[in-house]
Amino acid sequence: MTEMLPPGSTIGILGGGQLGRMLSVAAARLGLKTVIFEPGGDCPASHVANYHLQAEYTDKDALRRFADSVDVITYEFENIPTSALDILESLKPIRPGREALRISQDRLTEKEFLTSLGLSVAPYADIPDAAALEAALGTIGTPSILKTRRFGYDGKGQARLMSPADAPAALVAMNGTPAVLEGFVDFTAEVSIIAARGLDGSVSCYDPGENVHREGILRTTTVPASLSAALRTDAVLLAAKVLNALDYVGVMGVELFVTPGGLIVNEIAPRVHNSGHWTQNGCVVDQFEQHVRAVAGWPLGDGSRYADVVMENLIGEDVERVAGLAGERGVAVHLYGKGEVKAGRKMGHVNKVG
């Protein structure tokens, strides 16, 4: 029997964006309170959380106050400074744990970890400098993608190489930081699997969703994915393998490429994931509540899928379509409370059911 935080307990969430917002709502549904740690003011999560502690990740006093005010700590993004984690970890449990963060914060470490589990990843090479890039282009070739090892998201910190002549510009785009070169994968589809592991070690996976990206940003996720039964099982097994290897607690997003040779892991995210938003209108217990349940030591909930769903992100001016979308049959609207519309900014999403 694992310790289950009783209703009225408080979950601390690092990061106050839309994922923190939807985690807060899920926590409230279970009678749990939330405190958001987020440097920005008027952040999406602050609108629905019990308390918003507005401070920088370098503010040690604030971090200690945050830890003192909560029973367990989780996060909505993986790029949390190590110095902050060191302080927090000494005061309260952090779930998912440090190992998951250490691995997912660095693309090279992540690929080495996945490879060590026997999972397939794209061909890759460590690129500390120009010489390494030249050598790697000899083996991996082009087209390929140079990516910063750390702090990349939504296509940021990436440069595409269509020929070796693109190498100098790609290196400039890395801005002097360590990088990794990834070989091109000829995939037929991108899918992701949202998997959860409870404090008691139980694992529950959502049905895989099929993703469409544009300009490095997720546009739609469709369930069910066009995936054979065998590959569906492969996806579940590999996700469970990753979670078990990390003694993971919480929800993880695992992005996969579907190829004629099987599934290739693109990346893992130790948190709720944009490609799991469909679960809000396709399952009794969605990914946000599942994550909260896991980190609070509750039993995992029923994540079986009861409907076909297409999740569509509302990016930038897409949000102006909301009046029309809201009146459509089977459409659930989810907006994030962001005041300013900017190009490329995720303003909300809709789930189109049935």
The single residue among 298, 311, 313, 346 that binds a copy of itself, judged by CB under 8 A, is 298
304 to 323: interface string for a copy of itself, x by CB under 8 A: --xx-----------x--xx
- Residue 224 sits in the site that holds a copy of itself (CB under 8 A): no
Q: What are phi and psi of 81, to 5 degrees?
A: -55, 135
Q: Judged by CB, which is closer to a copy of itself: 91, or 353?
A: 353
Distance of closest approach, residue 34 Cβ to a copy of itself, in angstroms: 9
By the rule CB under 8 A, 171 interacts with a copy of itself: no
**3-state class (DSSP) for residue 351:** strand
**Helix H segments across 176-256?**
229-245
In the complex, the smallest distance separating the C-beta of residue 37 from a copy of itself, rounded to whole angstroms, is: 18
Transcribe 306-317 into DSSP letters. -S-EEEEEEEGG
Give me the amino acid identity at 42: D
Contact region with a copy of itself (CB under 8 A), list: 57-65, 82-90, 236-244, 291-299: 291-299
Kindly state the smallest distance separating residue 307's Cβ from a copy of itself, in Å: 7
Task: Answer whether 130's CB lies under 8 Å from 178's CB.
Answer: no
CA 116 – CA 331 distance, rounded (Å): 42
Check binding of 241 to a copy of itself (CB under 8 A): no
Binding residue positions for ATP:
107, 147, 152-158, 182-185, 190, 213, 266-267
DSSP string of 81-98, one letter each residue: -HHHHHHHHTTS-BSS-H
State yes or no: cis peptide before 143, omega within 30 of 0: yes
Q: Give the 3-state secondary structure of residue 87.
A: helix
- Residues near a copy of itself (CB under 8 A) are 4, 7-8, 21, 24-25, 28-31, 33, 47-48, 50, 281, 284-285, 293, 298-302, 306-307, 319, 322-323, 326-339, 348, 351, 353-354
